[in-house]
Structure 1
Amino acid sequence: MTSTDPRRWWGLGFISVAVSLIIVDSTIVNVAVPAIVTDLGISSTEVQWVQEVYTLVFASLLLLFGATADRIGRRRALLTGVAVFAGASVAAAFAPTGGLLILARTVQGVGGALILPATLSLLNAGFRGRERTIAFAVWGSTIGGMAAVGPLLGGWLTTSFSWRWAFGINVPLGILVLVGVLATVRESRETSARIDLVGSALSVVLFGALVFALIEGRTFGWWTAEDGIELGPVKWTATISPVPIALALSASALVLLLIWSRARARRARPALLDLSLFRVPTFARGNLVALVVALGEFGIILSLPLWLQFVQGFDALQTGLVLLALAIGSFGASGLIGALSARVRPVIVVRAGLLAEIVGIVGVALALGSGAGWGWLIPTLFVYGFGVGLATAQLTGVILADVPVERSGQASGTQSTARQVGSALGIAILGTVLFTGTGATLSSSLDDAGVDAGARDAVVSRVVDSAGAAISSLDGDEIALAEEAFTTGTQLSAFTAAGFLAIGFAASFGLGSARREQQPA
């Protein structure tokens, strides 16, 4: 696919479907999680891992696979990723246990990590000038829109058939992408690209240890170890929790990665993390904004489906219909971007989108705390989705605007990694806020109601460990207290997300020098 190939617009469509494949899967599971909890009996920690392991593997491999795509061919990497992803989806659909489902999600992350940087590199190499702005707008709006369409599709499949079809739907979509890309997209590669295996290993340790610590902190203890910790076949007997050790390991891997990357650069050897790219102001600042924004952007989608189904009593399809407001807002933003692209700098659109996201997510939090029910979520989710569509569509273009085409693979992998690391941290942090807030509020409420410590702890454990699924099985007044506590936890999660988005909005003013790409003469 080159800038003069008339098939490139058809190719853009199939590339967008490939992005839809990985984005829909990452959100479709949110609505299906309550059914998975009931069917497989997974705990709240496993709920986080079902979501998190996909994003974690995704983030850990993006830099490696961005360089790999440049080396072996971006179209070849895309096709390989789609095949791996579809195969892992079949395994997830037939998983008999939570552990095997998590394993299948791990392999899905590998496929997704091959797909995403390849799509960005193909767009960056295949379009120029205003056409590139339009291409990135379509690509970004697909991410924003499909992030919300996923819950609707997942709700329909889960309610009408089974949660297993939420994974099975990836197979026909994958076949469509394979056929379409082969027919419309030309190969694109950078033969001089080299792969940094040591840097790749360090990045996996860095992200894996960090996310492990954030998710397991409330289970294993943030400093002192809880009793009965088992790490696979190993029983943890030390007084100190494995969590601070994991954090120290992550920090050490970061330092070593920076040292290794700098040493490789001095010897004129390619490194996984090309530090010279960060000399481009828009690239350096944009990646920081992308990481912080992603941290707050989609984390709320983890908690809202649980709240709607376990507190409000919705089924999966009704939950998807409520979240459809987010999709409508995002698609509305994509239509507006086409009109704005020739008149407004992309960085201004990014800021407007972030501001709309903050307003929308604060509105969600206030609606949850007002006791007015789920109805007020509709307009607030629309505003939130509108902001997601604006910000996501243009932020990628801002980050890559000044990056040379021949380095687009590594640059795309780096900015995609920033987003995915942010998403992984968001799921870990906001999930921890949700369940910790729920447990603390419920414990306090039961104390006030005069429930003895033993019974109180049992109720709290049932609610938190089941991610809210056990609420309906409680006795008498305990149901109302548990619903109120889960609502408070969801509200705290939303306010936390808004806080991260506010930090991203403030950081976006460092992108003031980002220019609108000029048409070539």
Structure 2
Amino acid sequence: MSRNPARPSPTDRDAWLGLVAVSLGVSLVVVDFTIVNVVMPPIIDDLEISAFGAQWIQESYAIVLAALLLVMGRLSDLLGARRLFMTGTVVFGLASIAAAVSPTGELLIAGRVAQGVGGAIIMPTSLALLNLTFRGPDRGKAFAVWGSTIGAAAAVGPLLGGRLADYSWRWAFGINIAVVVLILVGVMKFLPPSPRRPGRIDAVGAVLSVLGLGLLAFALIEGRNYGWWEPREDFGPFGDSTGLSVVPVALVVAVVCLALFLFLQVRLTRGSGTAPLMDTSLFGIRSFSTGSIATLVIALAEFGMLAVLPLWLQYALDYSPAQTGLLVFVVAVGSFFASGASFGMAGKTGPVGLVRIGLVLEAAGLLMFGLLADSGSRWWVIAIALFLYGTGVGFATAQVTNVVLADVPPHRAGQGSGIQSAARQLGSALGIAVLTSTFFMTLASGLSDRLVRQGTPEAGADQLSSAVSDSAGAMISELGGDPRTASAADAARDAMSHAIQVNGYTCAALLALGMLATFLVPRPEQGARQWGAGDAADAAPSAGGSTGRTHAS
């Protein structure tokens, strides 16, 4: 019997270079969440698109990505994580080309949808590759790099977008092509083929999960824009004619779809025949189930602040887009610092300990905003808060993923990664929805109160505060440029600073809940899972060969 050529050891140089390629793939997905916010003004001017079109250029990407995560996690197990990761990277690259050359807003939205498909492939397969490749102490280090990439990339987007906007918004998408080539070369050269298993996809479950997750993400992201109950804007047949927003309808349909999906998955897990899209037996692994709860709760708080912070910096503190991007980049510095520090701490502290350290640091940074944010805040105070916050994200985001997947057998790494990615994505969507709504409600009510105290009639104060809130603060510059409304501009800056304070306290409280969730996670010796013979056989190819019905791809 011929033997397969020896593959790289999970701890050798090739594995670490392969990790760099995987992390670059993750950075593409995360950067394209935030970079568009900065280049949107020139896109609107160039393509002459409406506010509705601009909104969908930003948000179609996130909705599609969330909808497809579970399906792509299952496909990762069936087709092989490396093969699917490269497919997702190619899809992302082609979609980026389409977005970069789009002559109309409609085609740009189509490109963003395709980017969402590529991102939905990349995220769970990147985790599956890490889960297959690294074991022992190196596993925590690998997840530290992966998690720090997420925190850093979220902060790099505004900085990169601010620089590229000086040339052309199209470079915000075109720059992805060079990165895609580097990723493909790195993965093919340094990572071995991944094991794959024969089987079929649960088609009914796939449809239910895509509809359920997609509509849930849509409702959470668009609640403020379309109205949580009464319509703020028309959407198809929903609007002023019906007196009902599309958001509650989407929520109801999402809940029904997800309930049917869960019922089907439990039945398929217990029965025989088609394998489930989401193997519910994974939740019998205590570290997986409790770690997933912690992931969801932590994601609620982690990136909500970054959604509104650039608005405060530009409109309340009068920073330029480039200055804003540079300051937010401090989050990336902190995240990379955490990645390096965790290498020496992982063995002594353990993944759960690093998560708790990260949550404390994140909360400390956010509490600084709660205590110190005002319309005269110094840049270095903001930088210290962001460094603490970024360092915390670098510890917590990486290691909570390590905790979730620690005891998942390799042949189910794709499904486990898909579930974990979906929990993170939905937690982030819910957190951003809650925190942005809190921010703008606090801004509007705070500004109205301040204007009334200045002597403005209550009706006029409410009208002006609503206009400032609906403009996301952009109207403050216009008010400040007119001596007759300069005092209103000052009141708006103070109200926006107060809204940042409220968000800081809210995020810190949510992170405290995340801290409590980590105490549900079992100690390693309690949560360690003894893989059966079948699991061991399926795991074998990732280290050096093909066994039984498992193939490499």
Task: Answer yes or no: same fold by TM over 0.5.
Answer: yes
Residue of structure 1 aligned with 2:519, choices 500, 504, 509 = 509
Residue of structure 2 aligned with 1:266, choices 266, 270, 287 = 270
By how many angstroms is 1:453 displaced? Answer: 6.0
By how many angstroms is 1:102 displaced? Answer: 4.3
By how many angstroms is 1:419 displaced? Answer: 0.9
1:109-258 matches, cutoff 5 A: 109-158=116-165, 160-225=166-231, 229-232=233-236, 237-258=241-262
- Cα distance between partner residues in 1 of 2:501 and 2:42: 23
Which residue in the other structure is 2:333 paired with?
328
Secondary structure of the structure 2 residue equivalent to 1:337: helix
By how many angstroms is 1:298 displaced? Answer: 1.2
User: Contact 1:367–1:373 (CA<8 Å) still a contact in 2?
Assistant: no
More moved, 508-517 vs 493-502: 508-517
By how many angstroms is 1:348 displaced? Answer: 0.7
- Cα distance between partner residues in 2 of 1:49 and 1:434: 21
Tell me, yes or no, if structure 1 residue 63 matches structure 2 residue 58: no
Which residue in the other structure is 1:280 paired with?
285
Query: Structure 2-normalised TM-score?
Result: 0.85
Which residue in the other structure is 2:468 paired with?
463
Secondary structure of the structure 2 residue equivalent to 1:230: coil
- Cα distance between partner residues in 1 of 2:494 and 2:13: 57
1:481-500 matches, cutoff 5 A: 481-500=491-510
User: Contact 2:316–2:375 (CA<8 Å) still a contact in 1?
Assistant: no
Cα distance change of structure 1 residues 17 and 220 upon mapping to structure 2, 3 Å threshold? closer
User: Contact 1:286–1:398 (CA<8 Å) still a contact in 2?
Assistant: yes
Which residue in the other structure is 1:85 paired with?
92
- Cα distance between partner residues in 1 of 2:112 and 2:373: 31
Cα distance change of structure 1 residues 381 and 352 upon mapping to structure 2, 3 Å threshold? same
Cα distance change of structure 1 residues 215 and 20 upon mapping to structure 2, 3 Å threshold? closer
Residues 144-194 of structure 1 show CA distances to partners (whole Å, capped at 9, x for unaligned) of 222223332223223x32343222221211121122222222321322343
Q: Which amino acid aligns with 2:294?
A: V
Cα distance change of structure 1 residues 224 and 35 upon mapping to structure 2, 3 Å threshold? same
Q: Percent identity?
A: 47
Tell me, yes or no, if structure 1 residue 411 matches structure 2 residue 421: no
Residues 441-474 of structure 1 show CA distances to partners (whole Å, capped at 9, x for unaligned) of 2233333334456654553343233322222122
Residues 469-519 of structure 1 show CA distances to partners (whole Å, capped at 9, x for unaligned) of 22212242222222223223333333322222121111111114245989x
Q: Which amino acid aligns with 1:497?
A: C
By how many angstroms is 1:383 displaced? Answer: 0.7
Q: Greater CA radius of gyration, 1 or 2?
A: 2
By how many angstroms is 1:393 displaced? Answer: 2.0
Secondary structure of the structure 2 residue equivalent to 1:231: coil
User: Contact 1:92–1:104 (CA<8 Å) still a contact in 2?
Assistant: yes
User: Contact 1:223–1:240 (CA<8 Å) still a contact in 2?
Assistant: yes
By how many angstroms is 1:103 displaced? Answer: 4.0
Cα distance change of structure 1 residues 219 and 30 upon mapping to structure 2, 3 Å threshold? closer
Cα distance change of structure 1 residues 463 and 94 upon mapping to structure 2, 3 Å threshold? farther
By how many angstroms is 1:406 displaced? Answer: 0.9
- Cα distance between partner residues in 1 of 2:192 and 2:79: 13
Structure 1: state its 5+ residue gaps. Answer: none
Cα distance change of structure 1 residues 380 and 126 upon mapping to structure 2, 3 Å threshold? same
- Cα distance between partner residues in 2 of 1:43 and 1:507: 43
Secondary structure of the structure 1 residue equivalent to 2:195: coil
Secondary structure of the structure 2 residue equivalent to 1:345: helix
- Cα distance between partner residues in 2 of 1:152 and 1:106: 23
Query: Structure 1-normalised TM-score?
Result: 0.90
User: Contact 1:48–1:428 (CA<8 Å) still a contact in 2?
Assistant: no
- Cα distance between partner residues in 1 of 2:418 and 2:231: 37
Residues 303-336 of structure 1 show CA distances to partners (whole Å, capped at 9, x for unaligned) of 1112112222222221122112212211111111
By how many angstroms is 1:212 displaced? Answer: 3.1
Residue of structure 1 aligned with 2:314, choices 309, 312, 331 = 309
1:445-456 matches, cutoff 5 A: 445-452=450-457, 455-456=460-461
Structure 2: state its 5+ residue gaps. Answer: 1-6, 530-535, 537-553
- Cα distance between partner residues in 2 of 1:467 and 1:42: 18
Residues 231-276 of structure 1 show CA distances to partners (whole Å, capped at 9, x for unaligned) of 1476552234333322222222222121111122232231122111
Q: Which amino acid aligns with 1:180?
A: G
- Cα distance between partner residues in 2 of 1:3 and 1:124: 14
Tell me, yes or no, if structure 1 residue 318 matches structure 2 residue 328: no
User: Contact 2:74–2:278 (CA<8 Å) still a contact in 1?
Assistant: no
Cα distance change of structure 1 residues 495 and 378 upon mapping to structure 2, 3 Å threshold? same
